[in-house]
Amino acid sequence: MKIYKGHLLFTPRRTAFEVIENGYVAVKDGRIVGVSSRLSDLANSNAEVVDLGDRLLIPAMCDMHVHAPQYRNQGMCMDLELLTWLNAYTFPEEEKFADMAYAERIYRRFVRDLWRNGTMRAAVFATIHADSTRLLMHLFEAAGMGAMVGKVDMDRNCPEALCETVDEAVAANELLAAAFNDPEALVRPIITPRFIPSCTPAMLQACGRLAREYGLPVQSHLSENRAEIALVHELEPQSESYGDAYNRYGLFGQTPTLMAHCVYSSDEEIELMRRNGVMAVHCPTSNLNIASGMSPVRTLLDCGVRVSLGSDISGGHDLSMFRVMVYALQVSKMLSVTQGVQPQLTLPEVFWCATKSAGSFFGQVGSFEPGYEFDALVIDDSELNFDHYTLLERLERFIYLGDDRHIVHRYCRGQEIAEPPLRF
Amino acid sequence: MKIYKGHLLFTPRRTAFEVIENGYVAVKDGRIVGVSSRLSDLANSNAEVVDLGDRLLIPAMCDMHVHAPQYRNQGMCMDLELLTWLNAYTFPEEEKFADMAYAERIYRRFVRDLWRNGTMRAAVFATIHADSTRLLMHLFEAAGMGAMVGKVDMDRNCPEALCETVDEAVAANELLAAAFNDPEALVRPIITPRFIPSCTPAMLQACGRLAREYGLPVQSHLSENRAEIALVHELEPQSESYGDAYNRYGLFGQTPTLMAHCVYSSDEEIELMRRNGVMAVHCPTSNLNIASGMSPVRTLLDCGVRVSLGSDISGGHDLSMFRVMVYALQVSKMLSVTQGVQPQLTLPEVFWCATKSAGSFFGQVGSFEPGYEFDALVIDDSELNFDHYTLLERLERFIYLGDDRHIVHRYCRGQEIAEPPLRF
Residue-wise pLDDT tens digits, A104-149: 999 999 999 999 999 999 999 999 999 999 999 999 999 999 999 9
Contacts of A386 in chain B (CB under 8 A): 105, 109
Contact status, residue B306 vs residue B357, Cβ threshold 8 Å: yes
Helices and strands of chain A, counted as H and E runs? 15, 17
For the segment B179-196, the average pLDDT, to the nearest whole number, is 97
d(CA A119, CA A146): 9
Contacts of B72 in chain A (CB under 8 A): 387
Per DSSP (E only), the strands in B286-374 are 306-309
Closest CA–CA distance from residue A227 to any residue of chain B (Å): 12
Say which of A75, A326, A334 has its CB closest to residue B401: A75
Contact status, residue B403 vs residue B320, Cβ threshold 8 Å: yes
Domains and CATH numbers, chain B: 2-60+367-416 (2.30.40.10), 61-362 (3.20.20.140)
Say which of A318, A330, A386 has its CB closest to residue B288: A330
User: Which residue did the predictor score with more confidence, B47 or A133?
Assistant: A133
A291 φ/ψ sector (left φ>0, alpha ψ -120 to 50, else beta): left
Q: Chain centroid to CA B64: how far? A: 1
For the segment B277-293, the average pLDDT, to the nearest whole number, is 98
Contact status, residue B274 vs residue B301, Cβ threshold 8 Å: no
Contacts of A92 in chain B (CB under 8 A): none
User: Residue A396 and residue B76: Cβ atoms within 8 Å?
Assistant: yes
User: Residue B330 and residue A288: Cβ atoms within 8 Å?
Assistant: yes
Print burial letters for A2-24: b (CB count within 10 Å at least 16), e (below 16): ebbbbbbbbbeebeebbebeebb
User: Residue A397 and residue B74: Cβ atoms within 8 Å?
Assistant: yes
Q: Are strands B376-379 and A407-412 parallel, antiparallel or unpaired?
A: unpaired
Q: Which of B384, B405, B386 is nearest to B395 (CA)?
A: B384
User: Residue B291 and residue A337: Cβ atoms within 8 Å?
Assistant: yes
pLDDT of residue B45: 73
For A320, name the nearest residue in chain B, comparing CA atoms only: B401
Q: Are strands B16-28 and B31-36 parallel, antiparallel or unpaired?
A: antiparallel
User: Residue B317 and residue A344: Cβ atoms within 8 Å?
Assistant: no
User: Residue A288 and residue B79: Cβ atoms within 8 Å?
Assistant: no
Q: Kindly report the CA angle at A265 between A89 and A223, in degrees rounded to 5? A: 15
User: Residue B75 and residue A396: Cβ atoms within 8 Å?
Assistant: yes
Say which of B72, B291, B346 has its CB closest to residue A333: B291
Q: How confident is the model at residue B46 (pLDDT cuts 50, 70, 90)?
A: confident
Contact status, residue B96 vs residue B73, Cβ threshold 8 Å: no
User: Residue A74 and residue B109: Cβ atoms within 8 Å?
Assistant: no
For A346, name the nearest residue in chain B, comparing CA atoms only: B79
d(CA A386, CA B267): 45
State yes or no: pLDDT of A386 exceeds 80. yes
Q: Are strands A415-416 and A407-412 parallel, antiparallel or unpaired?
A: antiparallel
Say which of A288, A386, A399 has its CB closest to residue B334: A288
d(CA A424, CA A421): 7
Q: What is the DSSP string of A68-102?
A: GGGGGGTT---SS-HHHHIIIIIHHHHHGGGSHHH
- Torsion sign, CA atoms B120, B122, B124, B130: positive
pLDDT of residue B124: 98
State yes or no: pLDDT of B44 exceeds 90. no
User: Residue A317 and residue B330: Cβ atoms within 8 Å?
Assistant: no
Beta carbons within 10 angstroms of residue A259's beta carbon = 29
Cβ contacts of residue A405 below 8 Å, gap of 6+? none
For A285, name the nearest residue in chain B, comparing CA atoms only: B330
For A399, name the nearest residue in chain B, comparing CA atoms only: B75
d(CA B266, CA B229): 11
Q: Are strands B187-189 and B192-193 parallel, antiparallel or unpaired?
A: unpaired
The alpha-helical segments, DSSP class H, found in B117-225 are: 130-143, 166-179, 201-214
For A292, name the nearest residue in chain B, comparing CA atoms only: B337
Tell me which residues of chain A, numbers 219 to 278, contact chain B at a CB-CB cutoff of 8 Å: none
For A336, name the nearest residue in chain B, comparing CA atoms only: B291
Contact status, residue B6 vs residue B56, Cβ threshold 8 Å: yes
d(CA B61, CA A413): 43
Contacts of B79 in chain A (CB under 8 A): 344, 346
Tell me which residues of chain A, numbers 339 to 398, contact chain B at a CB-CB cutoff of 8 Å: 344, 346, 384, 386-387, 389, 393, 396-397
pLDDT of residue A44: 75
Contacts of A323 in chain B (CB under 8 A): none
Task: Classify B231 as helix, strand or coil.
Answer: helix
d(CA B34, CA A53): 55
Whole-complex ipTM: 0.97
Q: Does B324 touch chain A (CB under 8 A)?
A: no
Say which of A72, A334, A336 has its CB closest to residue B294: A334
Share the mean pLDDT of chain B: 97
Contacts of B289 in chain A (CB under 8 A): 329-330, 333
Round to the nearest angstrom and report the end-to-end CA distance of chain B: 32
At B8, the amino acid letter reads L
- Torsion sign, CA atoms A249, A253, A256, A260: positive
Cβ contacts of residue A220 below 8 Å, gap of 6+? A192, A193, A194, A195, A196, A246, A251, A257, A258, A259, A260
At B35, the amino acid letter reads V
For B395, name the nearest residue in chain A, comparing CA atoms only: A76
Angle at which helix B130-143 crosses helix B166-179, to 10 degrees, equals 20
pLDDT of residue A423: 87
d(CA A130, CA A407): 33
**How do residues A25-72 score in pLDDT, each as one tens digit?**
999 999 999 999 999 999 777 789 999 999 999 999 999 999 999 999
Q: What are the residues facing B121 on neighbouring strands?
A: B62, B146
Q: What are the residues facing A8 on neighbouring strands?
A: A20, A57
User: Residue A109 and residue B386: Cβ atoms within 8 Å?
Assistant: yes
Contacts of A389 in chain B (CB under 8 A): 76
At A324, the amino acid letter reads V
Per DSSP (E only), the strands in B60-116 are 61-67
Q: What are the residues facing A416 on neighbouring strands?
A: A411
Cβ contacts of residue A264 below 8 Å, gap of 6+? A223, A224, A225, A226, A229, A293
Contacts of A330 in chain B (CB under 8 A): 288-289
Q: Does A289 touch chain B (CB under 8 A)?
A: yes
Provide φ and ψ at B32, rounded to 5°: -80, 130
Contacts of A401 in chain B (CB under 8 A): 74-75, 317-318
Per DSSP (E only), the strands in B151-295 are 152-153, 187-189, 192-193, 218-222, 257-261, 279-282
User: Residue B291 and residue A399: Cβ atoms within 8 Å?
Assistant: no
For the segment A404-421, the average pLDDT, to the nearest whole number, is 98
Q: Chain centroid to CA B76: how far? A: 21
Contact status, residue A130 vs residue A151, Cβ threshold 8 Å: yes
Share the mean pLDDT of chain A: 97
CB pairs under 8 A between A and B: 91
Which contacts of A129-132 are long-range, i.e. CB under 8 A and separated by 24 or more positions? A129/A97, A129/A98, A129/A103, A130/A172, A130/A173, A130/A175, A130/A176, A131/A100, A131/A103, A132/A69, A132/A97, A132/A98, A132/A99, A132/A100, A132/A103, A132/A104, A132/A107
d(CA A148, CA A136): 11
Closest CA–CA distance from residue B166 to any residue of chain A (Å): 33
**How do residues A143-191 score in pLDDT, each as one tens digit?**
999 999 999 999 999 999 999 999 999 999 999 999 999 999 999 999 9
User: Residue A338 and residue B78: Cβ atoms within 8 Å?
Assistant: no
Q: How confident is the model at residue A278 (pLDDT cuts 50, 70, 90)?
A: very high
User: Residue B393 and residue A291: Cβ atoms within 8 Å?
Assistant: no
Q: Chain centroid to CA A87: how far? A: 24
Cβ contacts of residue B281 below 8 Å, gap of 6+? B64, B65, B123, B258, B259, B260, B261, B262, B307, B308, B309, B310
Contacts of B384 in chain A (CB under 8 A): 75
Task: Classify A375 as helix, strand or coil.
Answer: coil
Q: Which of B199, B186, B200 is nearest to B123 (CA)?
A: B186
d(CA B405, CA A305): 40
Q: Does B318 touch chain A (CB under 8 A)?
A: yes
pLDDT of residue B84: 94
Q: Which helix (H) or strand (E) holds A286?
A: helix A284-289
DSSP A249: T
Helices and strands of chain B, counted as H and E runs? 15, 17
Q: Does A303 touch chain B (CB under 8 A)?
A: no
Angle at which helix B130-143 crosses helix B100-116, to 10 degrees, equals 30
Give the best residue of A264, A330, A342, A382 to mutate against chain B (max B CB count within 10 A): A330
Contacts of B75 in chain A (CB under 8 A): 384, 396-397, 399-401
Q: How confident is the model at residue A224 (pLDDT cuts 50, 70, 90)?
A: very high
pLDDT of residue B43: 76
Contacts of A109 in chain B (CB under 8 A): 386
Q: Does B74 touch chain A (CB under 8 A)?
A: yes
d(CA B367, CA B327): 22
pLDDT of residue B423: 87
pLDDT of residue A45: 73
For the segment B243-249, the average pLDDT, to the nearest whole number, is 98
Give the best residue of A73, A285, A288 to mutate against chain B (max B CB count within 10 A): A288
User: Residue A294 and residue B334: Cβ atoms within 8 Å?
Assistant: yes
Beta carbons within 10 angstroms of residue A95's beta carbon = 18
Provide the percentage of residues in chain A whose pLDDT is more than 90: 98
Q: How confident is the model at residue A424 (pLDDT cuts 50, 70, 90)?
A: confident
State yes or no: pLDDT of B242 exceeds 90. yes
Q: Using CB atoms within 10 A of its CB, is residue B390 exposed (0-12), middle (13-18) or buried (19+)? A: exposed
